């Protein structure tokens, strides 16, 4: 086995009638565990290495408990009387995803802040995440939903279906410390939210995207996009992710930036950049670069400005041309809005 083991976690999952995994909840995933811990577990589990998921019968819990850290012993104790299947998922190497429990473990690692977006291999995630009916009674296979709804009605209850999707909302699995989320359904499991992040009602954060914190998110952070400390994504604003036409270019928003309401970017931004409200900058946008006298010194495509700092993007109200000027001041977030104790 590798001396640099990637991750393992003990969890409780949901299966459909075919015995296929729908989802797995891991209370405390372990990132980069000690080699001695993995070797001890291997002896009890018969684990010989690789990336795998092993179902844990209740009788096995007392045997593995003494081999674990104090934190993981608490996890085992909390799961002792579980009525759903218990599992231990072991990921020796950070390779492409090969199972649903493995996919859920990596999403947990992101939302638990063990890793940041774009730092781990999520290749094949859509193939490993089944589409699920997310209900007030948990995950249900859509093929089994009609019967579950009928049985609920017979009991005098109503089965509430909040979504039919591959990804659940993050807060049903992880609630990171020091954040405020106004509408929990708009933050997917696998999002990374740094301390001091505020996500307003129309804000959205996809999996493998996130904030360094503190940040204000009133727009959309697409898959793969990271927003660094002190930046504000305005209402209705968006970032172009690799799943929505952004190609292979990974976007990021630097520190102390402002993307105005209903604006957006398809290029990475350095620090202290502003895009005025209603202006969407794509990689191919023609931009007039102005000097301190507001004279055009060159006309370039926006991709040529990618990653630079202190840029102010505006649209000339007379000509309609997109202009880039030097940003003389950065925004400052209100500290009172981003202290979430």
Q: In a 3-state reduction of DSSP, which class is residue 229?
A: coil
Asked if 322 and 287 touch (Cβ cutoff 8 Å), the reply is yes
Is residue 337 very low, low, confident or very high in pLDDT (cuts 50, 70, 90)? low
What does the pLDDT read at residue 326?
A: 87
Helix/strand number for the chain, H first, E second: 6, 27
Q: What is the pTM of this model?
A: 0.93
From the CB of residue 52, how many other CB atoms can be counted at a distance below 10 Å? 17
Q: Is the pLDDT of residue 306 over 70?
A: yes
DSSP alpha helix (H) spans, 46-117: 61-64, 70-79, 100-111
What does the pLDDT read at residue 334?
A: 62
* b/e per residue 90-104 (b: at least 16 CB within 10 A): bbbebeebbbbbbbb
The strand pair at 280-281 and 21-25 is best described as: unpaired
What does the pLDDT read at residue 246?
A: 47
Residues carrying CATH 3.30.70.2010, the chain? 7-124
Class of CATH domain 133-165: alpha beta
Out of 23, 92, 195, 218, the active site residue is 218
Q: Is the pLDDT of residue 82 over 80?
A: yes
| Share of residues in the chain with pLDDT > 70 (%) | 94
Q: How far is residue 163's CA from residue 169's CA, in Å, rounded to a whole number?
A: 9
Q: Is the pLDDT of residue 301 over 50?
A: yes
Query: What's the N-to-C CA distance of the chain in angstroms?
Result: 41
Q: In a 3-state reduction of DSSP, which class is residue 316?
A: coil
* Burial class (CB within 10 angstroms; exposed 0-12, middle 13-18, buried 19+) of 121: middle
Q: Per the structure block, which two tokens stand in for 157?
A: 């209850």
Overall average pLDDT of the 111-128 stretch: 97
Is residue 58 very low, low, confident or very high in pLDDT (cuts 50, 70, 90)? confident
Residues carrying CATH 2.160.10.10, the chain? 170-337
Overall average pLDDT of the 304-333 stretch: 85
Candidates 3.20.20.80, 2.160.10.10, 3.40.190.10, 3.40.50.150; correct CATH number of 170-337? 2.160.10.10
Residue 243: DSSP 8-state: T
What does the pLDDT read at residue 143?
A: 98
CATH topology assigned to domain 7-124: Alpha-Beta Plaits (3.30.70)
Instruction: Find all residues with CB under 8 Å of 167, minimum gap 6, and list them.
Output: 107, 129, 188, 189, 190, 207
**Is 160 annotated as catalytic?**
no
Q: Is the pLDDT of residue 86 over 60?
A: yes
What does the pLDDT read at residue 241?
A: 77
From the CB of residue 161, how many other CB atoms can be counted at a distance below 10 Å? 16
C-alpha distances (whole Å) from 93 to each of 96, 121, 167, 189, 221 are: 9, 10, 23, 22, 28
Residues carrying CATH 3.30.60.70, the chain? 133-165
Asked if 265 and 253 touch (Cβ cutoff 8 Å), the reply is yes
The strand pair at 238-239 and 52-55 is best described as: unpaired
Instruction: Find all residues with CB under 8 Å of 212, minimum gap 6, and list them.
Output: 194, 226, 227, 228, 229
Q: Per the structure block, which two tokens stand in for 255?
A: 């520190």
* pLDDT per residue as tens digits for the range 140-185: 999 999 999 999 999 999 999 999 999 999 999 999 999 999 999 9
The strand pair at 232-233 and 132-135 is best described as: unpaired
Q: How far is residue 126's CA from residue 129's CA, in Å, rounded to a whole number?
A: 5
What does the pLDDT read at residue 330?
A: 47
Taking the mean position of all CA atoms in its chain, how far away is CA 41?
29
Overall average pLDDT of the 267-293 stretch: 94
Q: Is the pLDDT of residue 323 over 60?
A: yes
Q: Which of 248, 196, 201 is nearest to 227 (CA)?
A: 196
Overall average pLDDT of the 329-335 stretch: 56
Overall average pLDDT of the 44-57 stretch: 95
HEC profile of 99-134: CHHHHHHHHHHHHCCCCCCCCCCCCCHHHHCCCEEE
Lookup result for tokens 């880039």 = 324
Q: Is the pLDDT of residue 244 over 60?
A: no
Q: How far is residue 22's CA from residue 16's CA, in Å, rounded to a whole number?
A: 7
């Amino acid at each position: 086995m590798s001396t640099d083991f990637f991750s393992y976690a003990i969890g409780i999952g949901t299966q459909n009638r075919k015995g296929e995994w729908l989802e797995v909840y891991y209370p405390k995933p372990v990132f980069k565990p000690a080699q001695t811990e993995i070797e001890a577990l291997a002896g009890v589990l018969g684990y010989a290495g690789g990336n795998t998921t092993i179902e844990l019968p209740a009788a096995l819990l007392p045997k593995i408990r003494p081999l674990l850290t104090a934190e993981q012993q608490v996890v085992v104790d909390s799961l002792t009387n579980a009525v759903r299947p218990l599992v231990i998922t072991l990921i020796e190497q950070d390779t492409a995803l090969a199972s649903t429990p493995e996919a859920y473990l990596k999403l947990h690692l992101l939302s638990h802040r063990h890793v940041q977006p774009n730092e781990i291999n999520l290749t094949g995630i859509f193939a490993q995440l089944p589409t699920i009916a997310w209900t007030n009674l948990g995950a249900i296979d859509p093929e089994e939903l009609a019967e579950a709804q009928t049985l609920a009605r017979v009991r005098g209850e109503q089965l509430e279906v909040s979504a039919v999707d591959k990804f659940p909302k993050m807060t049903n699995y992880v609630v990171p410390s020091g954040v405020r989320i106004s509408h929990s359904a708009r933050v997917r499991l696998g999002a990374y939210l740094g301390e001091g992040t505020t996500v307003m009602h129309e804000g959205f954060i996809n999996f493998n995207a996130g904030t360094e914190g503190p940040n204000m998110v009133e727009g959309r952070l697409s898959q793969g996009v990271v927003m660094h400390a002190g930046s504000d994504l305005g209402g209705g604003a968006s970032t172009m992710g690799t799943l929505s036409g952004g190609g292979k270019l990974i976007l990021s928003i630097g520190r102390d930036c402002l993307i105005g309401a209903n604006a957006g970017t398809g290029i990475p931004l350095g620090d202290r950049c502003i895009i005025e409200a209603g202006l969407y900058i794509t990689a191919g946008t023609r931009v007039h670069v102005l000097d301190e006298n507001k004279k055009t010194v060159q006309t370039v495509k926006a991709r040529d400005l990618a990653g630079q700092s202190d840029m102010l993007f505006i649209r000339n109200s007379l000509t309609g041309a997109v202009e880039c000027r030097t940003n003389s001041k950065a925004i400052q977030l209100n500290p009172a809005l981003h202290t979430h104790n």
